[in-house]
Amino acid sequence: MGAVLLEELRAFTARLQCAETTSGDAGLGIELLDAIETLKSVGCAVQAVITDDVATSIREDRKARRLPRSEWARGVGSQIAFARRESPNRGGRHLGFALALVHEMPHTLALLRSGRLNEWRATLLVRETACLSAADRGIVDRRLCSDPNSLIARAKALAVELDAAAVVARHRKAVSERRVTTRPAPDSMAYLSVLMPVEQAVCLQATLGRDADSLIATGNGGGRTRNQLMVDLLFDRGTGAEVTSGIPVTVNLVLSDETLLTGGHEAAQLQGFGPVPAGIARQLVADAIDGDAETSLQRIYACPQSGSLTALESQSRTFPKSLRTLIDLRDQTCRTPWCDAPIRHHDHIRSHRESGATSAENGSGLCEACNYAKEAPGWTARPVHNPGRTHLLDVGTPTGHHYRSTAPPLPAAARQSGVEAVLIAQLRAS
């Protein structure tokens, strides 16, 4: 049955990919949108059921093999993530969502399967009841299924009514998880996100706004807008330095010599952010040199054809530190497919106990969660020999599926003549 369903789904997907416009028929368009939304909801419900089945199957297999209980669920979320082309963090959320629906919230699952509830609202409902016991969660599930239109507000109220202490404990846990993160934004900008108690966030924004208004009122704003002043004040107070005095921490900017010295146009790579236009990269370097910030230049050697990082001029006496730096610059973020989390661990692809070398080819940068996940039974990883090209590794999951991870190319201006290009092509062909 499962194999037949899989083939039917693939055939239907192929048909849906060929769907055309409604030729100006707005009524038909609305009907199609409604039908596709129902399809998405049904698909989400079925995904949840299958996810739970996969997790149960893996746990039972590991239990039957008498593995320690701590190993039964390890890496399962990552396998779900691979199948859904998501980061391991999101895969863990999908797994938790599925377990909650199947085992504790059958009425919500039924609404989702009927198409009357979409995935986002179901996710919010699961989230708002996460602090409750299974029994209390079941009560919320039963009492809310009659009216899906007011689910979230009623879910919050019922959660407080059933177990106020759990809601308070959840708030305390949320406060303990406060953090600061960054993510790229268009036009070489970035979002700085702060997760903090609401009263602190409101106070911080109000203080920045008040002080920006004061600078504008006294004529000391320097022509900056209120929003610009608030950002500059946040930077000044967070770093203890003014915006114009430079950035007082190490920032790795990787760019080709032609981009730096001869006006080249190849984009640079800012570690922890991503591509930066050549002109902005040169300006960053110039500002750092002109200001009080300490700057240093370190040569990186890359293959001129592929941009693959091959070596790093060391300014440190300890090889492991230089090797870690090389891996950080080469991989940029966690090498697990679809995971863009910051690198926290430097891992042997082929483990050290299997005689894996401590080398750039056998090393990869991973986030903490992915490094622990790959230690679960059935996971494999191996470097793929890829001469002259970017670093490549193969990740195998316990279900026998394999995924390739390729390191992003670094800026490296090509310096090969036409004759060299022909010779290289002939050598590769032979």
Could you read off the pLDDT of 103-155 as tens digits, one per residue?
999 999 999 999 888 888 889 888 888 888 888 888 888 877 755 555 555 66
| 215 and 109 both lie in a single domain | no
Q: Are residues 341 and 370 in the same domain?
A: yes
Instruction: Please report whether residue 69 resides in a domain.
Output: yes
Identify residue 248 by its one-letter amino acid code.
P
Which residue spans within 174-327 are E strands per DSSP? 179-185, 189-195, 253-254, 268-270, 274-276, 300-302, 309-312
Tokens 């691979």 -> residue: 82
- The residues of the chain scoring below 50 in pLDDT are 249, 313-319
**Do 209 and 110 share a structural domain?**
no
| pLDDT the model gives residue 138 | 85
pLDDT at position 340: 80
Domain with 369, as residue range(s), is 309-406
Q: Report whether 260 contacts 285 (CB < 8 A).
A: yes
Q: Domain ends where: 176, 195, 222?
A: 176
Secondary structure tally for the chain: helices H, strands E:
16, 12
pLDDT of residue 419: 52
Residue 281 lies in a domain: no
Record the tokens describing residue 336, joined without a space: 């697990």
Same domain, 133 and 148: yes
Give the Cα separation of 279 and 299 in Å (integer).
20
Nearest CA to 420 among 304, 285, 333, 312?
304
Q: Which of 201, 223, 245 is the last residue of a domain?
A: 245
185 and 95 in a common domain: no
Last residue of one domain, picked from the residues 121, 151, 176: 176
Q: What is the dihedral of CA 126, 127, 132, 137, to 10 degrees?
A: -20
Helix (H, G, I), strand (E, B) or coil at 296: coil
- pLDDT tens digits, residue range 276-302? 777 777 777 777 666 655 666 666 666
The confidence score (pLDDT) of residue 201 equals: 82
Instruction: Please count the structural domains in the chain.
Output: 3
What pLDDT was estimated at residue 154?
63
